[in-house]
A and B are shown apart, each in its own frame.
Chain A
Amino acid sequence: MAEPKHTVKTQAGASLQEIGVRKRLNAWAANHQLVAVETLMRLLSKPLSSLLTWMVIAIALTMPGALWMALDNMEQLSGRFQASGRITLYLTPKATEEQGQQLSDRIAALDSVANTEFIDADTALNDFRDNSGLQAALDFLPENPLPAVILVEPPLGIEQAALLRLIEQLKSYQLVDSVQLDMAWVERLQAMLALAERLIGVLGVLLALAILLVVGNTIRLAIAARVDEIRVVKLVGGTNAYVRRPFLYTGLWYGMVGGLLAWLLLILCWALLNGPVADLAELYGSGFELKPLSAAAAMVLLLAAMLLGWLGAWWSVSRHLDHIEP
């Protein structure tokens, strides 16, 4: 037998220094890359069982995702109503057109007002006549029963307290007969939306927990199948981090592919619902369109899925892996 070619005279410590920090860092990065690819390949080599886990994750993510998409659309709707949630000032019959216009301009200059519109009594009557279909009845009236009106539009997202202060101020003008704010139903809608948001939050937490358990259990089985390998790796000096790495990447892949599938499912939901919703909106004379999940929301979904997969793997690994000793 030939003389051994590699001399064993150098000690292990020295041989590690030989390698150099940069090379070791590169090797570490290369190992991450290798493990990432290897674990993905391992999952793809068993497509059916992997797909099962992926679909469970995807469905668990799709449910809160779809509800969230619906909520987002409802908020968009309520936002439109809020924009039209104007304050109507009915002026006293004594007010002349000139006085009304002046008051309207003064109010428009206020900080807590975005915009005003003055509608004199004649214009109001004409509008009413055109829109109400009561033309014949109105023609019988001896004089114009409608007062002049100033429409005041508070800025979007004005706070409740500021709004109430504004109303008090508007009431104090002498020319103003009464102030009407039709916001109650908007408030009710918003309260319902807040409730729905909370419900989605609770549902989301429960389903996130389900994902953690599913990934955790899948990783537990993967660990059980590779006990021999883990023993050998620990025996020849593999750190816990090294042993954990492939399982954490596996969890990350489960989450990521599950998240992508969930995204696809949400796009599918949107495509299926968009047509009927648009038809319905048209019947109500609204140009409302179902918005798909925004790119930002999709990214959040994907990142959340990856995080959940990784956490599930971490949970499983820290429960089972450290106990496997050679």
Chain B
Amino acid sequence: MTMVQFDRVGKRYPGGKEALSGINFELARGEFAFLTGHSGAGKSTLLKLMMLMERPSRGQVFVDGQNLGRLRPGQIPYLRRKVGVVFQNHQLLFDRSVYDNVALPLQIAGYTPAEAGRRVRAALDSVGLLGMEKRNPIELSGGEQQRVGIARAVVNKPALLLADEPTGNLDPELSAEIMNLFLRFQQVGVTVLIASHDIALIERMGHRRLILDHGHLHDGQVPAAGGIYG
């Protein structure tokens, strides 16, 4: 079963910059992979194509069997509900509590407050932040903020979890902790793709690597190792 498929995908930004060209790869359902490359190699662009934050100039992207090129603008929100995203700058809202931040996707998807409450607490528990519900994210440390972002990305039980430099601002110990969190989600069936340039950490963790170099993709090895690092 394929979760993500890129078929000869190219992306050229207005102005002529070729961000991606000839991208072909597949992610199996439940797979865990890293996306690496120098900064400006096109990692963020590739992730954005899966969320339809960008549309490809050429080729086709499939997510969960859906051809994203065929989606009408009105269908995009429903795609995004199936895909959880974590950002380096975590994109939290500081005008509301941790709880409300995590509950946002559920509120949008139309869950009742009671159901949302259960799921928010489960998600916060899974990232080790139960008990911080009422705090404002601005009071939390960088690592804790990132975990709130992860809780928000997984609270809707997405089939696919994307992360763009989720450990970019964290020290090595916290980074490893965050990566282990992602592994836990993969173990319960979520497909995970993490863009990162933390080569040392990635090499220690093993797993498949997709390497981007100036817009071209080299599918890396799928190492035999692949347990939880720590």
B107 at the interface (CB under 8 A from A): yes
- A24–B152 Cα distance when bound, in Å, is 20
A236 at the interface (CB under 8 A from B): yes
Stretch at the interface among B120-128, B201-209, B219-227: B120-128
B20 at the interface (CB under 8 A from A): no
Query: Taking each of B77, B119, B128, B184, which has the highest tally of chain A beta carbons within 10 Å of its own beta carbon?
Result: B77
- The A1-47 residues at the B interface (CB cut-off 8 A) are 1-13, 15-16, 19, 23-24, 26-28, 30-31
Stretch at the interface among A71-79, A126-134, A225-233, A264-272: A225-233
- The B50-97 residues at the A interface (CB cut-off 8 A) are 51, 53, 64, 74, 77-82, 85, 91-93, 95
User: Are the CB atoms of A235 and B51 closer together than 8 Å?
Assistant: yes
B141 at the interface (CB under 8 A from A): no
- The A217-249 residues at the B interface (CB cut-off 8 A) are 228-229, 231-240, 242
Out of B95, B111, B189, name the residue touching A9 (CB < 8 Å): B189
> Could you say which residues of chain A place their CB within 8 Å of the CB of B74?
239-240
- A231–B93 Cα distance when bound, in Å, is 10
> Could you say which residues of chain A place their CB within 8 Å of the CB of B93?
228-229, 232
User: Are the CB atoms of A6 and B53 closer together than 8 Å?
Assistant: no
- A197–B94 Cα distance when bound, in Å, is 53
B200 at the interface (CB under 8 A from A): no
A325 at the interface (CB under 8 A from B): yes
Q: Interface extent on A, as a size class?
A: 35 or more
User: Are the CB atoms of B188 and A7 closer together than 8 Å?
Assistant: yes
B113 at the interface (CB under 8 A from A): yes
- A229–B92 Cα distance when bound, in Å, is 9
Q: Report the minimal beta-carbon distance from A3 to chain B, rounded to whole angstroms.
A: 8
User: Are the CB atoms of A16 and B95 closer together than 8 Å?
Assistant: no
A145 at the interface (CB under 8 A from B): no
- A8–B79 Cα distance when bound, in Å, is 17
- A19–B106 Cα distance when bound, in Å, is 11
Q: Report the minimal beta-carbon distance from B29 to chain A, rounded to whole angstroms.
A: 10
Known: A8-B190, A19-B115. A234 touches B125 (CB 8 A): no
A326 at the interface (CB under 8 A from B): yes
- A1–B128 Cα distance when bound, in Å, is 7
- A232–B82 Cα distance when bound, in Å, is 15
Known: A4-B122, A229-B95, A232-B93. A24 touches B110 (CB 8 A): yes
Chain A residue nearest in CB terms to B153 = A236
> Could you say which residues of chain B place their CB within 8 Å of the CB of A239?
74, 77, 108
User: Are the CB atoms of B159 and A12 closer together than 8 Å?
Assistant: yes
User: Are the CB atoms of B159 and A237 closer together than 8 Å?
Assistant: no
B216 at the interface (CB under 8 A from A): no
> Could you say which residues of chain A place their CB within 8 Å of the CB of B51?
235, 326
Chain B residue nearest in CB terms to A242 = B108
B35 at the interface (CB under 8 A from A): no
> Could you say which residues of chain B place their CB within 8 Å of the CB of A5?
122, 125-126
> Could you say which residues of chain B place their CB within 8 Å of the CB of A326?
51, 53
User: Are the CB atoms of B81 and A12 closer together than 8 Å?
Assistant: yes
User: Are the CB atoms of B185 and A236 closer together than 8 Å?
Assistant: no
- A13–B64 Cα distance when bound, in Å, is 11
User: Are the CB atoms of A236 and B112 closer together than 8 Å?
Assistant: no
- A30–B110 Cα distance when bound, in Å, is 9
B4 at the interface (CB under 8 A from A): no
Chain B residue nearest in CB terms to A229 = B93
> Could you say which residues of chain A place their CB within 8 Å of the CB of B184?
1, 3-4
Known: A12-B158, A16-B109, A31-B110. A236 touches B190 (CB 8 A): no
Known A8-B158, A235-B53, A238-B108; further 7 A-B contacts with Cβ < 8 A: A6-B123, A6-B126, A9-B189, A30-B112, A228-B91, A233-B104, A238-B77
Contacts from B to A (Cβ < 8 Å):
51, 53, 64, 74, 77-82, 85, 91-93, 95, 104-105, 107-113, 115, 119, 122-123, 125-126, 128, 152, 154, 156-159, 180-181, 184-185, 188-190
Can you list 27 A-B pairs, Cβ within 8 angstroms, ordered by A?
Answer: A1-B184, A5-B126, A6-B122, A8-B185, A8-B189, A9-B189, A11-B157, A19-B111, A19-B115, A23-B112, A26-B112, A27-B111, A27-B112, A31-B110, A228-B91, A229-B93, A232-B93, A233-B108, A235-B51, A235-B80, A236-B156, A237-B78, A237-B80, A237-B105, A237-B109, A237-B156, A239-B74
